[in-house]
A and B are shown apart, each in its own frame.
Chain A
Amino acid sequence: MDVLLKVNGTEHRLAVDVRTTLLDALRERLELTGTKKGCDLGQCGACTVLLDGMRVLSCFTLAVAAQEAEITTIEGLAGENKPLHPMQKAFLEQDAYQCGYCTPGQILSAIACVQEGHANSADQIREYMSGNLCRCAAYPKIVAAVQQAKLLMEGP
């Protein structure tokens, strides 16, 4: 069936199987492979994207159901040779990853976490970032990165 997806400000018209997840549409059809598949079961958070600024699991969202929304993926935060989003910069500087596979999902989740107002303390960040598994276990540095970026995102 035909769908219209608005991804990172660009409209894409494509024909998908009705069962196609937003995750597979992004990765397999639009070659936006920054969004990762870690379980396809809603358990890991690696596939997190923003739909109208809200974090959702793209493996648990059908492509047909994402048509009305503005979709933001990791590729939409900073273009090639463009300045990084404060959250990307914070992950880079804090070494808030190892293999980097969970990182796109962590970064989008972290941006939403700050915007939701759920980044007011280390404990709150830990709780509200617990939907994103990191098998490399960069958790303490992810908390530090969210704290660093929050200051820049919210301004003085």
Chain B
Amino acid sequence: MPDGNQTIIGQPAIRIDGRAKVTGMARYASDEVVANPAHAFLVTSAIARGRIRGFRLDAARAVPGILDILMHGNVGGEAEKPKPMSGGDTTTTLESDRVWHDGQIIAVVLAESFEAAREAAHKVEVDYEAEPPSATFGSPGVEEEVRKAGEHKDYKVGDAEASFAVAEVKVDARYGTPTQHHNPIELFTTTCEWRGGKLTVYEPSQFVYGLRGSLAKQLRMDPGDIHVVSRFVGGAFGSRGGITARTAWIAVAARRLNRPVRLVATRDQGFTIVTYRAETRHHIQLGATRDGRLTALRHEGWEVTSRPSEYNVSGTETTARVYACPNILTKVNIVHADRNTPGFMRAPPETPYMFPLEVAMDELAVALNMDPVELRRINDTQTDPATGKPYSSRSLMPCFDQAAERFGWKGRNPAPGTMRDGDWQVGWGCATAAYPANIGPAAARVTLTLEGKARVQIAAHDIGTGAYTVIAITAADRLGLEIGKVVVELGGSELPAAGLAAGSSHTAGICNAVAKACEGVRQRLAQAAVTSNDGPLAGQDPAKLTLSAGALRAPGGAAEDLPKALARVTTGVLEVYAENIPKGLPPESIGKVYQGQMAMSRGHSREDATTYTFGAQFVEVRVHALTREVRVPRAVGAFAAGTIVNPLTAHSQYMGGMIWGISAALHEATEIDPHAARYVNDNIAEYLMPVNADVRSIEVIMVPEQDAQVNPLGIKGIGEIGIVGMNAAISNAVWHATGRRIRDLPIRIEDLL
């Protein structure tokens, strides 16, 4: 498609949905008004493994206002369990009397008010047949297996074992990352309303078509009879990617009561009724020559999942290709425990897997007596070492150089424990961030009116990422309009399909689809203008005409105002629908999205090239000499992610990701009772997340990068990469401050005593 003048893409723009957000007018799912809803309250299991023998419900049924109680015994056959986006099978809820994990949904209480539903739910008594559960790694009764290749694959290049055995310099260490929960501030809610045989579901979602498709199967309905609405999402971070069990039961409840039903699950229920980031373990072996070239890389990972699920993130798909290395071997194992099924959480594979690699690289730099940035430079490559394919673009070292410069890295004394400021031991550390540039198929409809306004419709998701605004920017850029002239409709399954908003794939997927629909508009207008007998553009080459500043323009300066150009093709509105199928995906992949299935071209599995975003992250930590408190007064991240559509919201994304990294390194962990297999700190006072006072200077550098190969607009995606290098950078800085090498996250005071 001919390039627009691109004066709007890349300029910072205030969110078009910003006014709605600051005035309280933005309608999140549980804000949608339905008539006279009944309120649902979940009853969840108090054991982690066993069976339900029966319920004693007299006390619950005596609560004034109670309407109904859903259990296996009365509704179990009315829905099937959901199919997760990844990992195959999952646990049941009301379909069976089986208990797979603590906090599993076992009954749904319905009442006239929230207060009555809560009271009645607390009065439900359950008789269990309990068995001893297995909580996590090392618990008796867990089942370990090698992850089969399928969704993810392993890499074997050269002979890593033999090369490691003879390597001149070696690092051989084990690492661990904890359980984490997304904890978006918006709770997990579902509101269902039936009209005739048609169901409307209001639920925060990262994939409305996925929710619709799965729910249709679960309820044995025609997907066309289900409408999913999710206009605003109060944070997601992966937690709203796949449908979870609650949705079908709220739909069943609304059908039984013949009345809308609203569920606002409690914060602690949010730890067990949706997914989470599972704990991981790693064994890394690095071999290198004395001058710092890697000769061997082995990375073996272990991940926890539920009993029936094979979910795993396999971040070795990234760690195998970050550095030039002739001998690579990766392997991933999964460990089944009596837990809920894990799922995507911000940078699902890279957050837990890049941590061990990047700490190991720091350890290697120490063993070599080499600057850690220089070690990265020596092992930088423009060729994917795992496949031999070229990187479509890779700006890792420009990121390192710009971030190091801004940070003041050259003032670092490499010896640990040598920088001090009063009572504080000061340490500086850095790490590489890498994330695949993924993209999914998407469809969009663009409607242009005679008043020169555009409406863009696409079932995209704005989970805080700024999707509303990047869509408006793209359309404005391509149609030659001001952003304020573009109206965006998203977040509903009545709109042209877009895929899962995850894996940093969404902006690339949706903006390319919108651009394609706009190109269709341009072509229609151009064709009519050049074939007319009278207009100023008659006889021009239609391929050379562009839309800019409210007119259709030819290279020589001839132009026709948009309303006139539009009047040549329509007396009403011009509507163009387009589907964008990313390179390497079959044409039918858009059909899969309409059916609610995952379709994604992933940065490490393309035929033509490996497509990745890279970044470099630097942090300063301060460890108090007496209390061992750890602080991060400043962090600098530089990232090269191709085209940045909106630098204002991109900055927020990168910054948020970096703070997530600080949080993961120093604060976050879900503690598990090893005997009860139960989450202990299941609330957001005890599940530690940063507050405003925990965060100081966060600097973001956007390194310019153009990549014409990755996709037509050159967009790589930015939502995940900000977190990726932070864990290791902080651990490396703690080593530099104290001489202590911490290989298990989060880093706590007790690790530094």
Residues of A in contact with B (beta carbons under 8 Å apart): 17, 19-20, 24, 27-28, 31-41, 43-44, 46, 73-75, 77-78, 80, 84, 88-89, 91-93, 95, 97-104, 107, 125-127, 129-143
Contact = CB atoms under 8 A, between A and B. Distances in A.
B415 interface: no
A80 B25 CA distance: 9
23 contacts: A20-B113, A24-B115, A36-B185, A36-B186, A37-B30, A39-B187, A39-B683, A41-B684, A43-B267, A80-B23, A84-B19, A88-B23, A95-B652, A100-B22, A101-B28, A107-B22, A130-B693, A132-B692, A135-B184, A136-B235, A139-B659, A140-B697, A141-B655
Interface string B674-698: 0000000001110001111111011
B277 to A, nearest CB: 14
Categorize the interface residue count of chain B. 35 or more
Contact of B691 (A32, A37, A41, A133): A133
Contacts of A138: 652, 655-656
Nearest to B22: A88
A33 B27 contact: yes
Interface string B458-474: 00000111100000000
A129 B690 CA distance: 12
Interface in B494-551: none
A95 B14 contact: yes
Contact of B233 (A99, A104, A137, A140): A99
Nearest to A107: B22
A7 B23 CA distance: 15
B276 interface: no
B22 A102 contact: no
B655 A140 contact: yes
B184 A101 contact: yes
A100 B236 CA distance: 12
Interface string B261-276: 0001011000000000
B353 interface: no
Given A44-B185, A134-B185, A137-B656, A101 B267 contact: no
Contact of A130 (B115, B232, B464, B691): B691
B24 A73 contact: yes
B118 to A, nearest CB: 9
A38 B14 contact: no
Which 6 residue pairs of A and B lie closest in terms of their CB atoms, listed nearest first? A34-B24, A101-B234, A99-B464, A98-B464, A100-B21, A74-B24
Given A75-B23, A84-B22, A41 B653 contact: no
Given A84-B23, A95-B649, A104-B24, A142 B692 contact: yes
Interface in B30-50: 30-31, 33
Contacts of B22: 74, 84, 88-89, 91-92, 97, 100, 103, 107
B660 interface: yes
B184 A93 contact: no
B195 to A, nearest CB: 21
B189 to A, nearest CB: 9
Contacts of B183: 135
B291 to A, nearest CB: 40
Contacts of A38: 185-187, 234, 267, 684
Contacts of B695: 126, 137, 139-140
A128 to B, nearest CB: 9
A102 B185 contact: yes
Contacts of A142: 692
B690 A139 contact: yes
Contact of B264 (A37, A73, A140): A37
Given A27-B31, A43-B685, 19 more contacts: A33-B24, A33-B30, A39-B187, A44-B684, A74-B24, A75-B24, A92-B18, A95-B648, A95-B649, A95-B652, A98-B656, A101-B234, A103-B21, A103-B22, A135-B182, A135-B237, A137-B655, A137-B690, A140-B655
A101 B186 contact: yes
B24 A35 contact: yes
Contacts of B693: 126-127, 130
Contact of A41 (B14, B23, B234, B683): B683
Interface of B: 14-15, 17-28, 30-31, 33, 113-116, 182-187, 232-237, 264, 266-267, 463-466, 648-649, 651-653, 655-656, 659-660, 663, 683-685, 689-695, 697-698
Nearest to B113: A17
Nearest to A90: B22
Contacts of A73: 24
B235 A101 contact: yes
A142 B22 CA distance: 12
Max count, chain A CB within 10 A of own CB: residue among B24, B463, B693? B24
Contacts of B114: 24, 28
A41 B267 contact: yes
B238 to A, nearest CB: 12
Contacts of A31: 33
Contacts of A99: 184-186, 232-236, 463-464
Max count, chain A CB within 10 A of own CB: residue among B116, B185, B186, B684? B185
Contacts of A125: 692
Nearest to B233: A99
B428 to A, nearest CB: 20
Contacts of A20: 113, 115
Nearest to A146: B692
A130 to B, nearest CB: 4
Contacts of B186: 36, 38, 99, 101
B652 A98 contact: yes
A59 B659 CA distance: 27
Contacts of A98: 235, 464-466, 649, 652-653, 656
Max count, chain A CB within 10 A of own CB: residue among B18, B116, B466? B18
A137 B659 contact: yes
A143 B185 CA distance: 19
Nearest to A132: B692
B23 A77 contact: yes
A87 to B, nearest CB: 8
A95 B23 CA distance: 14
Contacts of A24: 114-115
Max count, chain A CB within 10 A of own CB: residue among B22, B656, B660, B683? B22
A38 B684 CA distance: 9
Nearest to B268: A41
Contacts of A91: 18, 21-22
Contacts of B18: 91-92, 95
A31 B27 CA distance: 11
Nearest to B236: A99
Given A46-B185, A95-B649, A137-B659, A129 B692 contact: yes
A40 B652 contact: no
A99 B501 CA distance: 14
Nearest to B234: A101
A73 B653 CA distance: 28
B23 A136 contact: no
Max count, chain A CB within 10 A of own CB: residue among B17, B234, B659? B234
A61 to B, nearest CB: 15
B464 A19 contact: no
A92 to B, nearest CB: 4
Given A95-B651, A100-B26, A130 B21 contact: no
Nearest to B186: A101
A132 to B, nearest CB: 7
A92 B235 contact: no
Contacts of A17: 113, 115-116
Contacts of A37: 30, 187, 264
Max count, chain A CB within 10 A of own CB: residue among B115, B233, B236? B115
Contacts of A32: 24
A69 B17 CA distance: 32
B19 to A, nearest CB: 7
